[in-house]
Amino acid sequence: MSDLTPEDIAAIRKEDGGLRALLRAQIDIGKARRQAPTVPAPRRPTGRPPGAWPAGAAPVERTPSRHTAADWTKALDDYREWLRTADHPEFMDEGQICGCTGCTPPTPKEDQ
């Protein structure tokens, strides 16, 4: 609308409803310039409710560990022994105590 002169506006005002028609035309032109949003293609039907497992299917069950508690204890004891034989800075200073589970030797359990 910046290319309109005051004379053009005066001529438009003389017409019956001219200014209103001009402004409505400007709105319609602006709407036509906009592109319509692209609509994504609909998903193909699966035949089941959204989020449900397909018929005859179930979640995968957790596989049990192949290692027993004794195996884990032995592995941790081996790791602690390796730490003692390796260059571990926490063991070089007698006053320094490492609080990690691997460095802390297990306390003997009393018989119950």
Q: Which residues of 43-61 are buried (b: 16+ CB within 10 A; e: fewer)?
A: eeeeeeeeeeeeeeeeeee
pLDDT at 39 (0 to 100): 85
pLDDT at 71 (0 to 100): 93
CA atoms of 18 and 3, how far apart (whole Å): 17
φ/ψ of 62, rounded to 5, equals -70, 135
What are the pLDDT tens digits along the chain (112 aa)? Answer: 457 788 887 887 787 777 788 888 888 888 878 877 778 888 887 776 777 777 777 777 888 888 898 998 899 888 877 777 766 666 566 666 666 666 666 666 555 4
Helix, strand, or coil (residue 57): coil
Length of the chain in terms of residues written:
112
